[in-house]
Amino acid sequence: MEKSEGRQSRKKVVAVVGGGLVGALNACFFAKRGFNVHVFESREDIRKAKIVKGRSINLALSHRGRQALKHVGMEDKIISKGIPMHARMIHSLSGKQSPIPYGRKGQYILSVDRANLNKELLSDAETYPNTTLNFEHKLQDWSADTGLMTFSRSDGSKDQIHADLIVGCDGAFSATRKQFLRRSRFNYSQTYIPHGYMELTMPPVNGEFAMKPNYLHIWPRNTFMMIALPNLDKTFTCTLFMPFEDFEKITTGDEVIQFFQSYFPDMIPLIGVEALKKDYFRLPAQAMVSVKCSPYHIGDKCVLMGDAAHAVVPFYGQGMNAGFEDCIVFDELMEQFNEDFRAVLPEYTRVRVPDDHAIADLAMYNYVEMRAHVNSKWFLFRKHVDNVLHFFLPKTIIPLYTMVTFTRIPYHHAVERWHWQNKVINYGLLLSAVGAVLGGSYLLTKHSQQVNKLAVPAEKMWTRLVSFRIPGMMTTQM
């Protein structure tokens, strides 16, 4: 089906600031509705760049993101360029590998390359005749009253545009959001966690993956961890998450190898001694920030989406998925309110802020789970209990990870339900334990009584034996 400009009567101008993942996808959503869409990106066109600058942590695409891609006809194309991961593969210090499935059979998350996904989305946005992509345009200022925007270009010149709607998708350090900070009653918080990340590459072995490819591999070491995601070129992108102070203790190549021998000995032959030394010092450990703010809109003129509204740490694999869900939630509200920005924008803030704050908190929690809890027998037991209950009561008990990753249950509803389920399950386990103790005590008591009944005749018989007298003999005193 050939793409059209949608509702041709609509000629409002939508300016999307940021040509990253969420910005490019948003361009597709707005273009599909028939708006005149202008995308402004401060960097060069990554489709033409020799070196792609920016973050490169592999992404885990799941249900929420896939639904947004499906809405603009991109799901199948992206899936074909990703690698399914059906479970976590836990690597112990001894080298033992233990899988923990993500969900039911057939459920998986998809390892996708950030740069390739961004290129595909930009190319798709460009196929709409009502979309214009502007690269090397940096936002300087904009007016919430008039919609006038000023951009500086790489050659020093400036461009101006009037927009009916400004959509800020320009990342955690958003230039669009700066205008929000100048206004009263805007809440904003920014938190850097004390851990950084560093990426290493595990090359193929004889042209094939060095490890099983359909897993998200994790080396949990309590206060830090390593993960590895598969790539289409048969490499693994390995990411070490660790406190900055621990990164700073390692200053030489020999110390790198000593560190890996102590905590990740199975990785040394797979990456290679020299490659480890080189990769470790290629770039310093990078910081991770969590951003929360509210509201997400100003009047009917501007709205924030993606990391500009809610940057999250990467430990739940939901940063991109939450950003993509922003797009589809906004589009659903556009449909509900007949594209009336005055109604759509405040409703978007009301609906989305609790969800995005919830996933930000969950991402923080999941880091502890990934690096430490997966080593706990209690965690594994509870995981098994949750899965068994979900199998028999699929609509009543749903594991948190399943709600977050394989449904579109609003994030904050998933958290509320998770807390309720935990109370119910823990209470049930407690009652079961108390019941088992009481039942065991009853059986022991009953058994003791039976033993005592048998013991009484035996005691009487012994008494008779020792008191038995043969005529003419002396009685033995005992």
Closest CA to 25 of 80, 64, 83, 81: 64
Residues pairing with 101 in the sheet: 87
333 φ, ψ to 5°?
-70, -35
User: What are the structure tokens assigned to 127, written together?
Assistant: 């196929």
Confidence of residue 7 (pLDDT cuts 50, 70, 90): very low
**386/290: higher pLDDT:** 290
pLDDT on residue 55: 54
214 φ, ψ to 5°?
-90, 40
Q: What is the mean pLDDT of residues 367-392?
A: 76
**246-258 pLDDT, tens digit each:** 999 999 999 999 9
pLDDT on residue 216: 96
pLDDT on residue 214: 96
Q: What percent of the chain has pLDDT over 70?
A: 89
- Can you tell me the distance from the alpha carbon of 280 to that of 261, in angstroms, rounded to the nearest whole number? 15
**166-175 pLDDT, tens digit each:** 999 999 999 9
Confidence of residue 390 (pLDDT cuts 50, 70, 90): confident
Q: What is the mean pLDDT of residues 386-413?
A: 90
The residue type found at 130 is: N
Confidence of residue 385 (pLDDT cuts 50, 70, 90): confident
Question: Is residue 454 scored above 90 in pLDDT?
Answer: no
220: Cβ contacts below 8 Å, ≥ 6 apart: 90, 370, 371, 372, 374, 375
**Least confidently predicted of 62-71, 95-104, 270-279, 313-322:** 95-104
**Least confidently predicted of 127-136, 265-274, 365-374:** 365-374
Question: Is residue 421 scored above 50 in pLDDT?
Answer: yes
- Can you tell me the distance from the alpha carbon of 20 to that of 121, in angstroms, rounded to the nearest whole number? 9
pTM score, two decimals? 0.86
Q: What is the mean pLDDT of residues 132-155?
A: 95
Question: Is residue 323 scored above 50 in pLDDT?
Answer: yes
**214/2: higher pLDDT:** 214
3-state secondary structure 298-348: ECCCEEECCHHHHCCCHHHCCHHHHHHHHHHHHHHHHHHCCCCHHHHHHHH
User: What are the structure tokens assigned to 430, written together?
Assistant: 């407690």
pLDDT on residue 476: 34
Confidence of residue 147 (pLDDT cuts 50, 70, 90): very high
Cβ 379 vs Cβ 369: under 8 Å: yes
**464/422: higher pLDDT:** 422
**428-451 pLDDT, tens digit each:** 888 877 877 777 777 777 766 665
Number of Cβ within 10 Å of residue 368's Cβ equals: 12
Question: Is residue 245 scored above 70 in pLDDT?
Answer: yes
- The distance of Cα 206 from the centroid of its chain, to the nearest Å, equals 32
Closest CA to 405 of 27, 74, 45, 61: 61
Confidence of residue 366 (pLDDT cuts 50, 70, 90): confident
Question: Is residue 417 scored above 80 in pLDDT?
Answer: yes
- Can you tell me the distance from the alpha carbon of 407 to that of 411, in angstroms, rounded to the nearest whole number? 10
358: Cβ contacts below 8 Å, ≥ 6 apart: 411, 412, 414, 415
**455/288: higher pLDDT:** 288
350 φ, ψ to 5°?
-60, -40
Pick the CATH number of 13-367 from 1.10.10.10, 3.40.640.10, 3.50.50.60, 1.10.472.10: 3.50.50.60
- Can you tell me the distance from the alpha carbon of 408 to that of 306, in angstroms, rounded to the nearest whole number? 17
**113-132 pLDDT, tens digit each:** 999 999 999 999 999 999 99
**180-204 pLDDT, tens digit each:** 999 999 999 999 999 999 999 999 9
Question: Is residue 292 scored above 80 in pLDDT?
Answer: yes
Q: What percent of the chain has pLDDT over 90?
A: 73
Question: Is residue 8 scored above 50 in pLDDT?
Answer: no
Question: Is residue 311 scored above 70 in pLDDT?
Answer: yes
Confidence of residue 2 (pLDDT cuts 50, 70, 90): very low
Domain ranges of the chain: 13-367, 376-468
Cβ 316 vs Cβ 362: under 8 Å: yes
For the chain, what is the mean pLDDT? 89
Q: Look at the block and give the residue holding tokens 């008191």.
A: 467
**Least confidently predicted of 41-55, 188-202, 307-321, 387-401:** 41-55
Question: Is residue 471 scored above 60 in pLDDT?
Answer: no
